[in-house]
Amino acid sequence: MKIFTHIRYCILVMSLITFTSHAYNKVSDEQVYTLMDKSGITRSIQGLPMQMNMIGQQMALTAKDPAEHQKFMQIFTSSMDTDGMVQKMLVHIQNNVSASEMESILAWLDSDLATRIVKAELQSTEPEFQQNFMRFMADMQSNPPAQARTQAIIHYVESSKVAEQAMKMMKGMMKNMFMAIKASKPEDQELAANLDKQLEQMSASLQPVLKQQMILTSYFIYQNISNEDLANYSNFFMHDTGKKYLSVLVDAVGAAMNDWGATLMKNVIAEQS
């Protein structure tokens, strides 16, 4: 497989999963771990290898070369150090959340709505998520949601700007992957220029796909969350605490994913040489 095929394949798999700086008072490790546990982000990261394997098994059904596909998936998952990723997120959150912001975020996470929302969102960390999601979508096509439900889902995706945050994370990861490739051949200016062009092209094509994916998966993830509760959740992201909560978590995951993406590309390059 060519290097660009590896990259596109990686981005395809990842797309199926889903700032101003100033002085901060240091928050404790315990506070960060509480935030990461209550938000579900720790479980999401720790469940990535199993999720990747499940997605890889599904994609193997359409792979032209099953042996090559299996080889890539082994590199893909073995490059992922989930413990290191959790530590990377901890450091990022500590450096980007003030004590007062942490207090407000943890207070919200202790609310009944947040508890139910996080429980719903953790469905996406289960190995069988893709299978359950596909069955749900098949049922939804036969029984379309009411207009009020559609409006509630779209309002959530647009008010939270979750698709934009995910796009920022994905672009950062792709950029880091491309930098790893450039570093392997620093003398190849044509490769560098081609990679820069590919980054912009892939980012442009991925953005609408990500938003559509966010909307569709939201139908499934929040299926047991009422329109009223979903509206309250959407409103949370219109306030400073909600904006900070989402941005710092997405940026923390992005920081962890960047390191993994660079490691993945180094391992792919080593396997091809």
Q: What is the pLDDT of residue 266?
A: 77
Report yes or no: 254 and 173 within 8 Å, Cβ to Cβ.
yes
What single-letter DSSP state applies at residue 111?
S
Domain boundaries, the chain: 3-17+26-272
Phi and psi for 265 in degrees, rounded to 5? Answer: -65, -40
Q: What is the pLDDT of residue 189?
A: 85
Q: What is the pLDDT of residue 14?
A: 52
Q: Which residues of 188-206 are buried (b: 16+ CB within 10 A; e: fewer)?
A: eeebbeebeeebeebbeeb
N- to C-terminal Cα distance for the chain? Answer: 12
- 22: which 2 tokens? 């100033």
What burial class does residue 35 get, using C-beta atoms within 10 Å of its C-beta: 0-12 exposed, 13-18 middle, 19+ buried?
buried
- 121: which 2 tokens? 């969102």
Q: What is the pLDDT of residue 111?
A: 96
Report yes or no: 240 and 156 within 8 Å, Cβ to Cβ.
no
Q: What is the pLDDT of residue 49?
A: 77
Could you give the CA distance from residue 71 to residue 255 in angstroms, rounded to a whole number?
Answer: 26
Q: What is the pLDDT of residue 273?
A: 61
Nearest to 248 by CA among 35, 22, 34: 35
Q: What is the pLDDT of residue 272?
A: 66
* pTM: predicted TM-score of the whole model, two decimal places: 0.76
In the chain, what's the furthest Cα-to-Cα distance? 57
3-state secondary structure 195-217: HHHHHHHHHHHHHHHHHHHHHHH
Mean pLDDT of each 10-residue bin along the chain, 273 residues long: 47 47 63 93 83 71 75 77 90 93 95 94 83 92 95 94 83 75 79 81 82 91 96 94 91 83 76 66
Q: What is the pLDDT of residue 3?
A: 46
Q: What is the pLDDT of residue 10?
A: 52
Query: In sequence order, which residues have a C-beta less than 8 Å from that of residue 129 and are 6 or more positions away?
Result: 51, 54, 123
Q: What is the pLDDT of residue 20?
A: 34
Q: What is the pLDDT of residue 27?
A: 86
